[in-house]
Structure 1
Amino acid sequence: MRSNLKHRLDDEQSEPPLFDFDIDEANEADSETMTDVGETPLHNDLQQQTLTRIQLEQLFSRASSALVAETTNDQESFKRKTTIKVPKTSKMITTPFPPIQSDRQEDFDISIEELKQFAQKPVGQLIIDRYSPDDKEIYYALSTVTLTFNQPMISISSLDEQTNPEDLGISLIPKVQGQWRWIDTKTVQFEAKHRFPYSTKYTLTVDRIRCVSAIGGKLDDDFFFEFSTKTLEVLQFLPDEIVSTLKPRCFLLFDQKIHMNEIFKHICVVHGDGIKMDNKELELLDEDTAENEFKWYLNQTEGNRQEYIAFTFKNDLLKATEYTIQLTQDCPSAEGPLTTTTEWSAEFRTYEPLKILGWFPNINDEDQETVGPGRCWSIIFNNSLDHSTIKKSIFKVEPILKEKVLLGIEHTNDYSNKITIFNNSQPDTVYTLSIQPGILKDVYGQTFEQDPTEEPIQFHVEESNSPLYGILRGESGIIIMDPGLLYEPYYSFIVCNYSELIIRINRVKPEHYKPNVLKFSAGFDDDDDDYAEEEEDQNEAIEDNHNIPGEELLNEIIQTNCQRNEPKEIRISLKAYLTKSSGVGQLFIFITTTKKAYKECEHRYWGNTRAILVWLQCTRLAVDTFASS
């Protein structure tokens, strides 16, 4: 901008400015100015003098061209905002009040007779423009009823006086706690104190004779409208799945107040092929027991204490049976006279006797007929098992060889009806498993009794020349070591066909525990066949596979020296990693395969475990932990 300004100044200086000024006008203006002054200045030498035309021309000729250029520069950029003009003053006129009678002007004159004739003209028919609710069945909490007319029903001055709508023939039957009020001169509204009671039919009427508008309008016919609030409905029912006891407690939560004894008369329990139980076999729970048992459901909404029923059974129910709880038609509510028009029902089942559903591998299963040597077996039960009753000693495997076949048992909360068996099975062998009766129990307290007439539990192991399977098995998760083993503590696991493993041991503390610390995700690339830099791959596996917490004590790769398809038990001594004085502590053990060992296997299963993660607690105070969802 400065460069442009300079160019403009140069251009303007090249041409002398021309002035168009009327000297006579200036002198005349000066003389006028001098004339307006009323006082004579104190010093005569300071008095204004009238300049001649020649003197003015000489004065302007001496003006600097640069100064003139500066004043004629781009004025728009320096122009300040326009000053707001001074508002014009109003003209004040003084008049007498009240005005003189002769000054008053009327547009027209109306006589009393004309006013009477004007008032007698018809005002039109009174109509109810709209009303709310306008549905005959109301399935929500209703708190207001509204009527709107096409003509004013009261004067504006009467809004604060709360004119009673019943005086105008407006009525709502049955009566509800609340009050009528006028929203405006045409709209009246009834506001219930709480809400309109459910299971009730209401009638809204307007008497055409008594209902007259403020300007005299009348209805042609009586207004009549009926609507009903919803009938009784079940919001929550318990139990809804398999029950853990043969004397379950049933709970029904409704959407409105009930009379418990009346509802109890309408409850029907059916089982089997439509067999109905007598209501004498049921009994209501007392209030304290019910509120303690179903406290969470009752606290969800205020006022639920009068909207539920809870009952139980006097005798044990049948096992492995489906029971249906029914509420018959015409079930009443405590809020109104309307009853239910349909039947309601819900089902639950009692648990079945503990039995085996299947096992893996199974010669009768086309998908999993056999497994390789050392590969784990599993048994599936129909019910969740009691963890405290699962012991390695109750399982027996035949044939019995020189080396023990049964190495370990695993049972987890995630698969509570499944038992995994770690084994040292030999190729081309059929093993038969038996379970000692009367010891293994499910969560319902039922003991397992193996039926000798049923199909035996047999596991078929493949021949040695079968495809190469990599196996890595061991107890994982949070483990508490038997205090009796603290003198020579160790951790054992099974490996088959993997040539080398990564072993990492860290010393940990409770503050190191996180919900996902025992989760592992390996990402070995099956298409990567470059083994040239074997040591680099192994180090990468150690560094990248899992970031375990705590103080590192051991981090190395071991050679397993496994024979083909022959599982091998490996024990890791832990004594050197525990507190020397007491032999206790907490260790995090991480075991996984190297990339090289993993890719040596010909076949892989999605379900194979490629890592073992253990949080091992070695303590003389046995404390178990469970992860809750």
Structure 2
Amino acid sequence: MKKLFAWIWLIAIYVSFIAPFSLTANAQKSRVKTMPTNTNQNMPNGLQFRLSEGVTGAETREKQPVAETNPLSQNETGNLLKRIPAIKPEAGDQTDFAKRAGTLPAPKTGVQIPVKFPAPEQLNPRDVDQSKLPLEVVRFSPAGEVKLAPDLNVTFSQPMVAVTSQEQAAQIVPVQVTPLPEGNWRWLGTKTLMFDTKSRFPMATKFTVRVPAGTKSANNQTLQKDVVWTFTTPPPKVETMIPQNQITRRDALMFVSFDQEINAEAVIKTISVTAQGKRLPIRPATQAEIETDSSVSYYAKTVQPKRWIAFRAINSDGLTENALPGASQITVTIEKGTTSAEGPLTTTQAQSFGFQTYSPLKFQKAICGWEGNPNCSPFEQWFLQFNNQIDTTNFTAEMVKIEPAVENLKIYPGGNNIYIQGYKKGRTTYKITVDGSLKDIYGQTLAAPATATIKVGSAPVSLYSQGGTMVVLDPTAKPAFSVYSTNQPSVKVRLYSVEPTDWKAFQEYFRRINYDDSTKKPAIPGRLISDKVVNIENKPDEMVETRIDLSEALNAGFGSVIIDIEPTVKRDKYDRARIFTWAQSTNIGLDAFVDSQELVGFATDLKTGKPISGVELSIYPNGKQVVQSPKSKV
């Protein structure tokens, strides 16, 4: 029985897997044998469609019946599955359920207000007789605290005057203002009343405006109750303060201006000047004293009249000389309660400023380049800083001594500083001495000579030339090009012989000389004549001039050459030091005047400056042609 069952199992496997493939292959063979010989081999490539007659006999082909089988029992199926190797578990087979962090909160819902738009009363406005509505004040200005009040206006809900002349309408004024400044009332239309002041509403004043109840409109409607409001303009505010945050003489004038007119006699009583914890006596400055002080005189003329006050401190005997203590911080305070000449309001808080009187002249420090400079270069400017301004009228360069000597030395004062320029040596310590006779603008001298030291470090590596992208060589000297460098051991020099027609290509290359993108750079025009390394004279921390001989790139000393120079040693990967110049060696100088219609060229002798005759001038490029003029006879 078991053998029979095994044979049946093998036959079933054969029928279900192997036989269908065999049948399919036979069917394909049959179709191939009966397929017409007219194929698509000679048809062009692409999507093609062909319609042909069906194959005869396809409907009579033998169909294989499905084999009869019996299903396996559960035990028999289990025995078969036991033959399969067990599945080995691997790490990570079992994981926690991938539950998301959380559900996002539901969006907040708004409150729907069922309102029709437009409103029914807008769609069907009621026919209301405006003349029967009570009179109202619709708007008014100014109100509250304002910085400035140029005018006053009030608008009513109904016409207040008939359409008539301004003179007649202005006689109807249903508004009361207390206090009322100089000005005129006028109507803007029939509903708005405006008060135009002569200049503006006075400052430091509180104004009360009242439209009394019972006021009637032109339609004979009545205001039911009083409409009252106020507005206030500010008390005096300090605008200009002199001297502020300055170092001054001990008899300096003080100047204060305000944003409104003041009574100088009353204001000076509220001003206090203090120093060293003591209040100093003051008095108003005279007109002669004001005119002798250029700063105070200038502001007194520019500020509006009656808005400023000038004053000064005095000694116990009433004199002004040295009335302010020396080397002291001076504080000027305009105390609260300061009055205005325009209104009754006074200031509610103090306003102050300060300055300092001069100290004995003292040297403070020596600076190279700028304060905090970590490395003083030989090419940086020095300056000596003092606490007071130097008197330039009595200053001479001989007051400053420097050891060791500085070449091309230039010394000059400016403000609180003495500036020193010149060629210094690197890695050298300089000693500077300033003579004790140095004076400041207050007539003081140094108590003793001032000394300072400046340590000059190494000069930064540099390489440059003069003349820009094109130079004309000196016609009276040997054709050579000067390169200036500091702490450079050598440079790589390439010379290209070029013609004037190469100028445009030179410009294109120069325009892209430092491009870092993937754009293909144009080639350097011309013919490479020389590519060599030129050694530079070894002078540490000094600027060295190196002359590059150009004779080999010229024709008998004349022509054009592109000079390409780079240092052999770079400071870092960002160093782009490079000299790329077009040099021309000629005895002819060219110049031109150009307008929208013509170009007039001039040729002169570079050595003498005289006009040259027989010179052929041409313009290139002009399209693809070279436009030439007859030989010049100038």
TM-score normalised by the chain length of structure 1: 0.48
Greater per-residue helix proportion: 1
TM-score normalised by the chain length of structure 2: 0.48
Q: Which has the higher contact order (CA 8 A, sep 6+)?
A: 1
